[in-house]
Chains A and B, each alone.
Chain A
Amino acid sequence: MRIAVPTVRARLTLWHAAALTLVVCLFAVGVFVFVRTSLYRTLDQQIREDLATIEKVYREETGDLGELALRTGMQFEVTEGSTVIHRTAGWPPAGAVPFRRAALDDSTHRIIAARDERSVRQTLWTLAVIMATAIPCAVGVAIVGGYLLAGRVLAPVGAMADTARRITAESLDARLPVANSADEFGRLAGVFNETLSRLDAAFEQLRRFTADASHELRTPLTAIRSVGEVALQRSLPTEGYREVIGSMLEEVDRLARLVENLLLLTRAEAGRIPLSRAIVDLRELVASVSDGLRVLAEEKNQELIVELSGPVAVHCDATVLRQGITNLLHNAIKYTPPKGVIRVAATSNASGDAVIEVQDSGPGIPAVDQQRVFERFYRVDQARSRDTGGTGLGLAIARWTVEASGGRIELESMAGQGALFRVVLPRF
């Protein structure tokens, strides 16, 4: 057996109608009970007034009771003990006509009066009939109205679904229409659009990466191929062949390093690089990296200032973090002109986190590029030759090593004023 799942529109309408019916019914019952009570209270009040009149006549002029009955049309009976003093014609009222009665008891006598309650019953009946016809009509109107209203309210959802269905990887720049950004559907569309934007950015990054990677991989391949082809077109002296082969091997080296770096990043992103964490003294790490790269700075007559203050212990994989710091410092030396100053510091900030700062005095990084310098293959100077540029993966790897160590990497730079890379790691 299959139970069809009703649409949101139908469910909304049904719930709405059910709630309305319940409320209207409760209201109708309330009204009916109230009207009935007050009608009978009035009737009882009249009967009590009749009783008072009858009693007064009985006490003053017992003989006038008959005349009272005739003039007023009252129905009553007066008894003293078992003796009937007066009884109106047709007493006791009974049969088809409903009567309401009340009694007044005294030590000597007893008066019972009755009044016709047909008009009360008639009123109540009319009220009931009106309600019984009006309620279904009202509920019917509510269902139809609710259905139409739900349709109108839910229309944006259908539109969103249609638009969303048309959005694919190729048309990620499309966005859902936002009628009113303040209401629920507007917010939903807004959130969906934000997700689309992120997805679009991710795809864009992937496209860029693929294009860059193929460029970076093809360039050395092209060089190897053309160098080899040109060399084979004519005879060369032995020394010439050595040069050619050496040149090809250099490109192979570049290619191998590129593949190495790409594999490292891919594994890192897939979380497939196991980290062996230990407590590491950042001062030692920074000092050792600086010592290792100092020759490069010396060769360019640069001043490499190393500032180490206080013991700064962090919990991380020293090999991984070393690679990141090496990349940062290597970069700083590369971009600082000869005789420039490079500053490396290991310290801690106000909130107790460990901080490594690598400051160069190079050309700096324009604000527009700062977000993207950590992307794979991103180069600030697009035209830069591969001779000065490395693989274009150094900063991407540096960022990974820092993030894998539980930290974050920040960049402060203004064009023309050098760049400051700051690594912040949670202190152990």
Chain B
Amino acid sequence: MRVLVVEDEKKVAKALREGLEAEHYDVRLAASGEEGFFLANHETFDCVVLDLMLPHRDGLEILTTLRKRGLQTPVLILTAKDTVNDRVRGLDSGADDYLVKPFAIPELLARIRALLRRGRPDQILKLQHEDLDMDLVTRRVVRSGQALDLTVKEFEILEYLLRHVGRVVSREMLTRDVWRVAARATPLDNVIDVSIARLRRKIDDPFPVKLLHTVRGVGFVLRRERG
């Protein structure tokens, strides 16, 4: 999977490259709008990550031009402007998704996965990791043959973690995708922490191998590893 990252801020570009390469993407960096435009026109990518605030050439302008030329590649825009108008303008210009700076790398990775999955219908009816099984139809959760009694919210969190298994899920992602709250100023972090603690009590406490881990300062991850 090839990803083009158009970002002029060196540190952010480096972080994006390393974050994406850790997920085994083939990353090309463009430090200016012109370079990004040239690369997007002359090479093939599976996904483009485009910063909107670029020197010389506005990101939106590049995007509009690329779309006019028939470029079909999914584009994720990065912006520091988060008013509704800015988002609408971005999406109208042909972006497939947007992320507001400062964003969390795990979230960016999740968005890119979603963009690359797009068009392929989600036929998953069962999720499974190690000895943990989740049936999305009967909404039953079983670990080591033992049925677990989860609340609706806990089920949704676990489902989200299972869908992003092995990858870090940030509190912001949970806020938006599980709690479905768009306002970033809402103080949900405590609620998330408590809910995660309760989920952990149910799925991990009775078992020797722990699956749900907290990554300090970033979020949570579901995987089998060092406790």
Interface residues of A (CB under 8 A from B): 242-243, 245-250, 252-253, 256-257, 260-261, 264, 267, 272, 274, 292-293, 295-296, 299, 319, 323, 326-327, 330, 390, 393-394, 397
Within the complex, what minimum Cβ distance (angstroms) separates A388 from chain B? 11
Q: Is the CB of B191 within 8 A of A327?
A: no
Interface of B is mostly: loop
Interface residues of B in 154-199 (CB under 8 A from A): 171, 179, 182-188, 190-191, 194-195, 197-198
Q: With A248-B217, A293-B191 in contact, is A257–B185 under 8 Å at CB?
A: yes
Which chain B positions have C-beta within 8 A of A292?
179, 188, 191
Within the complex, what minimum Cβ distance (angstroms) separates A237 from chain B? 13
Besides A246-B218, A295-B191, 9 new A-B residue pairs in contact (Cβ under 8 A), listed by A number: A250-B217, A260-B184, A292-B179, A295-B153, A295-B194, A299-B197, A319-B183, A326-B186, A326-B188
Within the complex, what minimum Cβ distance (angstroms) separates A257 from chain B? 7
Which chain B positions have C-beta within 8 A of A390?
187
Interface residues of B in 189-227 (CB under 8 A from A): 190-191, 194-195, 197-198, 215-218
Q: With A272-B83, A295-B194 in contact, is A250–B216 under 8 Å at CB?
A: yes
Q: With A246-B217, A252-B102 in contact, is A295–B185 under 8 Å at CB?
A: no
Within the complex, what minimum Cβ distance (angstroms) separates B189 from chain A? 8
Residue of B nearest to A390 (CB): B187
Q: Is the CB of A296 within 8 A of B190?
A: yes
Q: Is the CB of A247 within 8 A of B216?
A: yes
Enumerate 13 A-B pairs (CB-CB under 8 Å) in ascending A order: A247-B217, A249-B217, A249-B218, A253-B217, A256-B102, A260-B184, A261-B185, A292-B191, A295-B191, A299-B197, A319-B183, A323-B185, A330-B187
Which chain B positions have C-beta within 8 A of A296?
190-191, 194
Q: Give the size of the chain B interface in residues (CB under 8 angstroms).
A: 23
Interface of A is mostly: helix
B84 at the interface (CB under 8 A from A): yes
Residue of A nearest to B215 (CB): A246
Within the complex, what minimum Cβ distance (angstroms) separates A344 from chain B? 15
Q: Is the CB of B185 within 8 A of A397?
A: yes
Within the complex, what minimum Cβ distance (angstroms) separates B186 from chain A? 5
Within the complex, what minimum Cβ distance (angstroms) separates A4 from chain B? 53
Which chain A positions have C-beta within 8 A of B197?
299
Within the complex, what minimum Cβ distance (angstroms) separates A127 from chain B? 87
Q: With A319-B183, A323-B183, A326-B186 in contact, is A242–B216 under 8 Å at CB?
A: yes
Residue of A nearest to B100 (CB): A260
Bound-complex Cα distance A209 to B191 (A): 29
Q: Is the CB of A264 within 8 A of B185?
A: yes
- With most chain A CB atoms within 10 A of its CB, the pick from B171, B185, B190, B191 is B185
Bound-complex Cα distance A292 to B186 (A): 12
Which chain B positions have C-beta within 8 A of A326?
186-188
Within the complex, what minimum Cβ distance (angstroms) separates A342 from chain B? 14
Bound-complex Cα distance A296 to B191 (A): 6
Bound-complex Cα distance A243 to B183 (A): 29
Within the complex, what minimum Cβ distance (angstroms) separates B9 from chain A? 16
Within the complex, what minimum Cβ distance (angstroms) separates B153 from chain A? 8
Q: With A257-B185, A397-B185 in contact, is A246–B216 under 8 Å at CB?
A: yes
Within the complex, what minimum Cβ distance (angstroms) separates A179 from chain B? 51
Bound-complex Cα distance A256 to B218 (A): 13
Which chain A positions have C-beta within 8 A of B186?
323, 326-327
Within the complex, what minimum Cβ distance (angstroms) separates A94 from chain B? 105
Bound-complex Cα distance A13 to B218 (A): 80
Bound-complex Cα distance A247 to B84 (A): 32
Q: With A260-B185, A319-B182, A319-B183 in contact, is A252–B190 under 8 Å at CB?
A: no
Residue of A nearest to B153 (CB): A295
Residue of A nearest to B195 (CB): A295
